[in-house]
Structure 1
Amino acid sequence: MTGSRDHGPLPGLLLALTIGTGLVDAVSYLTLGHVFVANMTGNIVFFGFAVAGAGGVSWSATLVAVGCFGAGAFVGGRHGSTRTTHRGRLLAVTCGAQCVLVAVTALLAAFADPTRRGTQLAMVALPAVAMGAQNAVVRRLAVPDLTTTVLTLTAAGLFADRTSNQVRLRRVASILAMMTGALVGGLLLRHGRIAAPLWAAAAVLAGCAVTADRLRRRDTAESWS
């Protein structure tokens, strides 16, 4: 059903969110102790490494990320449970809340001591909540091949399935969007401050929130509600 459903501008907005995911995961993985705030598959593996005492992985940061991601997903799932809510409004409200969480994280990175353990855990917790909510709401939006936080099934489907060029293009675009976010995040960290990728991610989220809200108010928005 979701393959033939009209998704309006949602694919483009979700690709933007995928770029944002790459940005925040660049910060968490490269500066906060090899932990992801969006990719929970990686964190489960990292927690196994941490318990084994291998790889210098922080078990506390990993547990905080998984727990806060779950909390965000729980809240996002409750928010997205109302079937009468327009998908544009659902996305706009979620992106707005995420923007606040990521912006607060950027403020911590800019004005607190990012080498302190408490600051680092807070910088893991806040975006993990944001990414958990995003993941839950994106599931509710049900746009195929655009999960925004994980690409394993997308990459497998790209090579394993016989599909139309449109589907293949969407999958490739999703992979490139995540890669772009990670690339930009890495460059900003290399040549700037820790907060820079977080401000960029907050800007992406703010843009998605405003765009989704405006587009869902148009007369044609009913077709992708």
Structure 2
Amino acid sequence: MNQNTLQKYAMLLLCMSAGMVDVIGYLGLGHVLTANMTGNIVLLGIAIARAQEFVVLRALLALIGFIAGNAIAAYMIGHLQTKNGWSSRVTAVFTVESILLLFFSIAMISPYSEQLSYLLIAMLAVAMGMQTTAARRIGIAGISTTVLTNNLAAVVEDAVSILQRLRHANIRSLVKALSADAYLRAGAVVIYLGGVVLAALLFHHVPMMAVWIPVLIVGGITLFARLYSWGAVKKATDDTES
């Protein structure tokens, strides 16, 4: 299995982790979304309209944390470009995200999790903001690991393209003609939903296990990327950019 294929699987797993994180935030941190900012802004607007001060604070904290994560990741990656988009600096972003998720999980299972709820929201949102920016820079199949709406729209567009070409070809030939990116986009939607379902089930029965799976996913991907030097660039390129 080549490096490009492994990176595509990594992107799908990142989609799964984001889905799980949103469930953990929603069920465990007072109905706040820390990965899906579209939904979080909707919740923020509803809370403002209903004058629900604590809900407003949680949603606003998640939004600020997410933006901070975007900014941190953008600064870390800079303008460095590699052939496949997965640079050594992208791996560094995932390393920081893994550390944040690890601290989050430790705090979440501690006896002080309720008192630390606002800090936990901020940590989770920063981690998801960093993941979102890193995934955008990788640029595989136009997948966003945290924004399901874009992925779903791309899948629908792929389906419409198939239907338009049905008059000139049979289904078997169309399936073969579909790009790997089209299958990847569909897979991103399915696995995101799978992560949501898995996290919801685990959080209901064994909540302590649910918080550790995103850590293992992102940490495993980061370790794998470092071991195999994904996106490694020549020293001359790094020197030019610095």
TM (norm. structure 2) is 0.79
Distance 2:142 2:189 in 1: 10
CA contact (8 A) 1:145 1:170 kept: no
Residue of 15, 21, 34 corresponding to 2:12? 15
Q: Please say which of residues 53-62 and 105-114 is displaced more in the overlay.
A: 53-62
SS of equivalent to 2:211: helix
TM-aligned CA deviation for residue 135 of structure 1: 0.9
Deviations 1:47-68 (A, max 9, x none): 1100111899811110000001
What's the CA shift string for 1:126-181, capped at 9, x where partnerless?
01101111111111111123210011122112123426253331111101111121
Would you say 1:183 and 2:197 are equivalent positions?
A: yes
| Higher Cα radius of gyration | 2
* Identical residues among aligned pairs (%): 26
Q: Does 1:83 pair with 2:97?
A: no
Alignment of 1:3-82 (within 5 A): 7-53=4-50, 58-82=55-79
What amino acid maps onto 1:105 in structure 2?
F
Residue correspondence of structure 1 range 90-129 to structure 2 within 5 A: 90-116=89-115, 119-129=116-126
Equivalent of residue 225 in structure 2, options 196, 212, 216: 212
Q: 4+ runs of 1 displaced by more than 4 Å?
A: 54-57
| Letter paired with 1:169 | Y
Distance in 1 (CA, whole Å) between partners of 2:181 and 2:48 is 40
- The answer on whether the counterparts of 1:64 and 1:125 sit within 8 Å (CA) in structure 2 is yes
- 8 Å CA contact 2:34–2:125 kept in 1: the answer is yes
* Contact 2:144–2:150 under 8 Å retained in 1: no
Superposed displacement of residue 99, structure 1: 1.2
Partner of 2:181: 167
Distance 1:49 1:92, change over 3 A: same
Structure 1 counterpart of 2:214: 201
Report the AA paired with residue 101 of structure 1: L
Tell me how far 1:88 sits from its aligned partner.
4.6
Deviation at 1:214, TM superposition (A): 2.3
CA contact (8 A) 2:105 2:211 kept: yes
- Partners of 1:105 and 1:127 lie apart in 2 by 7
Q: Which amino acid aligns with 1:49?
A: I
- Quote the residue 1:192 is aligned against: 206
Looking at structure 1, the residues matched to 12 and 210 of structure 2 have their Cα atoms a distance apart, in angstroms, of: 17
CA distance in structure 2 between the aligned counterparts of 1:197 and 1:28, rounded to whole angstroms: 11
CA contact (8 A) 1:7 1:143 kept: no
Residue of structure 2 aligned with 1:152, choices 149, 154, 167: 149
Cα 1:136–1:192 shift into 2, 3 Å: same
Give the structure-1-normalised TM-score.
Answer: 0.85
